[in-house]
Amino acid sequence: LNTFEIEPGTGDVCLVSKLNHEAKSQYKLNIVVRDISQLPSSAQYITLNVAVESSLPITPSFRFAYYEFIVLD
């Protein structure tokens, strides 16, 4: 079952299915970013930890409207 997906054009991490704290309280996403425009292609690695804090039917809220990450070479 796929829970998350990454949009290829933007790199946005999106939910594919609902999260349920009782079923799984945390996720660890190992993400690999490759720049195929350079030969040989370079890769950067990052781990994204997602904690699911409650199974209550509450709309998620975030401190900021937009988050951006930059991977340095």
The residues that bridge with 45 in the sheet, in sequence order, are 32
Q: How far apart are CA 47 and CA 59, in angstroms?
A: 25
Three-state secondary structure of 42-70: EEEEEEEEEECCCCCCCCCCCCCCCCCCC
* Cβ(24)–Cβ(18) below 8 Å: no
pLDDT tens-place string over residues 13-57: 999 998 888 888 999 999 998 887 878 878 889 999 999 887 666
Q: How far apart are CA 15 and CA 59, in angstroms?
A: 14
Residue 1 has pLDDT above 60, yes or no: no
